[in-house]
């Protein structure tokens, strides 16, 4: 009797099990080299299945030495292309060919493999995949009722975050250091439980990293070469809330049910954003709305009536295309982080789907500003009309977002009226911020007195005045903004006549264009002139980057084309670049440098070039 096992039963140890039971006693186990190649590839990738399969082959050789069975390796090794196409059945086809050529019995726990073999007239035996006890994970014993996450690393004391939302403490939970053997055993237990249980699945499976979802646990399994050692991080929600438990709940309920909305739920890590998003999802379902989620990984704790989608073939845009065919009333997008996430969120919202996005932010306005440059400015209120900021598990701020055509706060001339995004306190209706464009620059102006207006209109006015005056001045230019419609410009004495122009025509043009009265003086007349110049030399020239859909554009003087400049944020080095022929530095959106620069812009850091 010749038995041809495939990869599935080798990994499960089913062949040696049959031999020891006496069922395969005296049989010849014909192992295709394609199976060996697939197991070796899995082991090289750090997958436990590869190692388990190789151990089973070693066991079969030991049984052959005891003359219980014969073991024979046949066929050619699988090519790299075959291994890459294993999911499409390339390796299975090679194994079936071996069984057919040897007139042996194909032994498999792959139902599709068994059915295809029978359809081709091959003798095949199918056995159910080996299951296991899935009542609990070994690491669950490390959790208490108030434990949100457990952090395990080989060579370090086990740690956990415990407490209430907003009052978490990162503490040692065992004095004895965890060993690599323990981490390997725990990792194996997590993987096998997730595979065997209908309540678990492996979300991400890459070399050095696996993300597993089992019941309400999200577990990250890291190992070399991705990490510097074996590590397990297990997270679970410690509370599940209803929308009624939050402040403004009745108003938010009416708002959500009035029409399909675009809402951003913002907050710092661990603030309770996802918990609040889950409460919204449950409320919407209870009020006759079809709700889906978009998650990567899927870890929201929602009821079975809410289908949780992840990235289709690794692409959230493909998931969105599929969801538009399903046409849910609302979609919960957890988490919106990268440019592509914001673009997908906007596309879904503009297609008429109600959207609730979870965003990391330290202030409510920061969540909205992350849309700037990713979505056309005038479209932002159509994409997001509500911002909810969560802190310590409670609603801290709610903003209502609309568009008005008006003269922005701080500007005086009526002909400067333009579309302005108004951000108002949801409860009182008091304006909190304005966002608008001025000379192609996007500016966010705080109106509630909590922040200095100098971070908005004054900086913008200063930058624009410098830009215009430099076209007529050869030397240094300094600007002091005195108020919403007056400023003093200091230039070299020899540049005074060029800046003012004949009969004051040049400076009047600048005043008319910017809507501000300008007094031109020499640099010697500026108070604390020496200190200001030294600071300018040390910090560099203040610039206002422009964010477009594809680039972040840092303006530089056109005469500096070809020069190398250093870009800084609050005096901290960001990157070095060469000025383009148009007198600007362009950074492609999505790059690591662009992400760092965008974060600095979101924090309203002072961007300078040297």
Read off the CATH number of the domain in which 230 is found: 3.30.450
Q: Is residue 533 part of a domain?
A: no
pLDDT computed for residue 487 by the predictor: 83
pLDDT tier, 414 (very low <50, low <70, confident <90, very high otherwise): low
Q: Is residue 132 part of a domain?
A: no
- Provide mean pLDDT across the span 201-212: 85
List the beta bridge partners of residue 420: 404
Q: Is residue 231 part of a domain?
A: yes
- Provide mean pLDDT across the span 581-594: 81
Q: Are residues 285 and 415 in the same domain?
A: yes
- Cis before 182? omega within 30: no
Q: Are residues 309 and 330 in the same domain?
A: yes
Q: Is residue 59 part of a domain?
A: yes
Determine the structural domain holding residue 221 and report its residue range.
138-235
CB 579 within 8 A of CB 567: no
**Of 101-105, 350-354, 516-520, which has the strongest mean pLDDT?**
350-354
Q: To which H or E segment does residue 105 belong? A: strand 105-108
Which of 414, 449, 484 terminates a domain? The answer is 449
Q: Are residues 426 and 464 in the same domain?
A: no
pLDDT tier, 458 (very low <50, low <70, confident <90, very high otherwise): low
Q: How far is Cα 575 from Cα 594, in angstroms, rounded to an integer?
A: 10
- Provide mean pLDDT across the span 172-191: 90
Quick check: 537 pLDDT over 50?
no
**Where is pLDDT greater, at 514 or 294?**
294
pLDDT tier, 193 (very low <50, low <70, confident <90, very high otherwise): confident
**Where is pLDDT greater, at 199 or 386?**
386
Least confident segment among 182-186, 271-275, 286-290, 371-375: 371-375
Which of 526, 561, 580 terminates a domain? The answer is 526
Q: Are residues 201 and 67 in the same domain?
A: no
- Provide mean pLDDT across the span 219-223: 92
Quick check: 134 pLDDT over 70?
no
Structure tokens at 188: 């194996």
Q: Are residues 317 and 390 in the same domain?
A: yes
Helix 505-514 / helix 457-470 crossing angle, nearest 10 deg: 150
The residues, ordered by sequence, that sit 6+ positions from 503 with a Cβ below 8 Å of its Cβ are none
Q: Is residue 280 part of a domain?
A: yes
Q: Are residues 508 and 608 in the same domain?
A: no
Q: Are residues 443 and 457 in the same domain?
A: no
**For the segment 81-97, what is each residue's pLDDT rounded down to a tens digit?**
766 666 566 788 888 99
Q: Centre a 10 Å sphere on the Cβ of residue 506 and count the other Cβ atoms it contains.
A: 19
pLDDT computed for residue 410 by the predictor: 65
Q: How far is Cα 195 from Cα 274, in angstroms, rounded to an integer?
A: 26
CB 352 within 8 A of CB 329: no
Q: How far is Cα 24 from Cα 38, in angstroms, rounded to an integer?
A: 24
Residue with tokens 């006549």: 497
3 state DSSP class of 160: strand
What order of strands is seen across the sheet that includes strand 262-267?
Answer: 307-309, 291-295, 330-334, 354-360, 262-267, 386-391, 394-406, 418-425, 431-438, 441-446
Q: Are residues 361 and 494 in the same domain?
A: no
Least confident segment among 34-38, 131-135, 412-416, 598-602: 131-135
Mean pLDDT of the chain: 83
3 state DSSP class of 169: strand
The CATH number of whichever domain residue 482 belongs to comes to: 3.30.300.20
Q: Are residues 111 and 18 in the same domain?
A: yes
Q: Are residues 504 and 597 in the same domain?
A: no
Q: Is residue 504 part of a domain?
A: yes
pLDDT tier, 133 (very low <50, low <70, confident <90, very high otherwise): low
Structure tokens at 250: 């009745």
**Where is pLDDT greater, at 369 or 179?**
179
pLDDT tier, 349 (very low <50, low <70, confident <90, very high otherwise): very high
Quick check: 132 pLDDT over 60?
no
The CATH number of whichever domain residue 351 belongs to comes to: 3.40.50.300
pLDDT tier, 535 (very low <50, low <70, confident <90, very high otherwise): very low
3 state DSSP class of 120: coil
Q: How far is Cα 583 from Cα 352, in angstroms, rounded to an integer?
A: 41
Structurally, the chain folds into a number of domains equal to 5
Q: Are residues 95 and 73 in the same domain?
A: yes
pLDDT computed for residue 392 by the predictor: 83
Q: Is residue 531 part of a domain?
A: no
- Provide mean pLDDT across the span 548-554: 84
Q: How far is Cα 544 from Cα 598, in angstroms, rounded to an integer?
A: 12
CB 391 within 8 A of CB 166: yes
Q: Is residue 589 part of a domain?
A: yes
**For the segment 73-83, what is each residue's pLDDT rounded down to a tens digit?**
988 776 777 66
Quick check: 154 pLDDT over 90?
yes
The CATH number of whichever domain residue 52 belongs to comes to: 3.40.50.1010
| Closest listed residue to residue 223, CA positions, set 184, 194, 178, 176 | 184
Instruction: Name the DSSP letter for residue 225.
Output: T
Q: Are residues 490 and 568 in the same domain?
A: no
pLDDT computed for residue 536 by the predictor: 42
Which of 498, 526, 554 terminates a domain? The answer is 526
pLDDT computed for residue 76 by the predictor: 78
């Amino acid at each position: 009797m010749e038995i041809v096992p495939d990869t599935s039963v080798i990994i499960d140890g089913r062949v040696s099990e049959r031999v020891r039971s006496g069922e395969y006693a005296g049989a010849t186990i014909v192992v295709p080299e394609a199976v060996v190649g697939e197991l070796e590839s899995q082991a090289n990738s750090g997958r436990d299945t590869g190692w388990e399969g190789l151990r089973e082959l070693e066991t079969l050789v030991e049984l052959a030495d005891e003359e219980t069975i014969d073991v024979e390796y046949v066929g050619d090794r699988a090519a790299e292309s075959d291994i890459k196409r294993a999911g499409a059945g390339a390796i299975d086809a090679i194994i079936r060919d071996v069984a057919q050529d040897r007139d042996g019995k194909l032994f498999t726990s792959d139902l599709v493999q068994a059915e295809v073999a029978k359809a081709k007239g091959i003798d095949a035996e199918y056995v159910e995949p080996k299951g296991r006890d899935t009542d609990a994970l070994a690491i669950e014993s490390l959790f208490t009722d108030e434990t949100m996450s457990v952090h395990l690393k080989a060579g370090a004391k086990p740690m956990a975050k415990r407490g209430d939302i907003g009052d978490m403490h990162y503490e040692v939970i065992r004095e004895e250091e965890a060993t690599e053997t323990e981490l390997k055993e725990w990792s194996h237990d997590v993987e096998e439980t997730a595979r065997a249980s209908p309540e678990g699945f492996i979300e991400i499976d890459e070399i050095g990293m696996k993300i597993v979802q089992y019941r309400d646990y999200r577990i990250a399994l890291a190992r070399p070469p991705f990490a510097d050692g074996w590590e397990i991080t297990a997270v679970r929600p410690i509370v599940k809330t209803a929308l009624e438990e939050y402040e403004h709940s009745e108003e938010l309920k009416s708002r959500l049910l009035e029409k399909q909305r675009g809402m951003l739920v913002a907050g710092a890590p661990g603030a309770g954003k996802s918990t609040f998003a889950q409460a919204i999802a449950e409320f919407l379902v209870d009020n006759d709305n079809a709700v889906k989620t978009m998650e990567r990984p899927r870890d929201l704790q929602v009821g079975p009536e809410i289908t949780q989608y992840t990235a289709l073939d690794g692409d959230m845009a493909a998931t969105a295309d599929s969801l538009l065919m399903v046409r849910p009333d609302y979609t919960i997008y957890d988490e919106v982080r990268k440019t592509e996430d914001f673009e997908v969120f906007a596309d879904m919202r503009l297609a008429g789907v109600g959207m609730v996005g979870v965003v990391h932010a330290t202030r409510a306005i920061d969540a909205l500003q992350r849309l700037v440059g990713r979505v056309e400015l005038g479209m932002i209120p159509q994409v997001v009309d509500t911002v909810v900021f969560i802190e310590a598990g409670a609603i801290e701020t709610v903003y209502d977002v609309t568009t008005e055509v008006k003269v922005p706060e701080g500007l005086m001339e009526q002909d400067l009226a333009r579309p302005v995004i108004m951000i108002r306190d949801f409860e009182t209706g008091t304006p909190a911020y304005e966002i608008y464009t001025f000379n192609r620059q996007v500016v966010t102006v705080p109106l509630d007195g909590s922040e200095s207006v100098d971070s908005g209109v004054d900086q913008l006015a200063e930058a624009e005045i410098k830009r215009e005056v430099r076209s007529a001045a050869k030397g240094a230019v300094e600007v002091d903004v005195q108020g919403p419609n007056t400023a003093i410009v200091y230039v070299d004495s020899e540049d005074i006549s060029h800046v003012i122009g004949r009969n004051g025509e040049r400076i009047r043009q600048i005043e008319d264009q910017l809507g501000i009265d300008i007094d031109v003086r020499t640099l010697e007349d500026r108070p604390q002139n020496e200190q200001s110049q030294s600071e300018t030399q040390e910090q560099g020239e203040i610039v206002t980057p422009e964010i477009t859909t594809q680039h972040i554009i840092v303006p530089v003087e056109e005469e500096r084309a070809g020069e190398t400049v250093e870009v800084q944020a609050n005096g901290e080095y960001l990157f070095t670049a060469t000025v383009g022929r148009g007198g600007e530095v362009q950074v492609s959106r999505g790059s690591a440098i662009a992400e760092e620069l965008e974060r600095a812009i979101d924090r309203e850091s002072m961007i300078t070039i040297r």
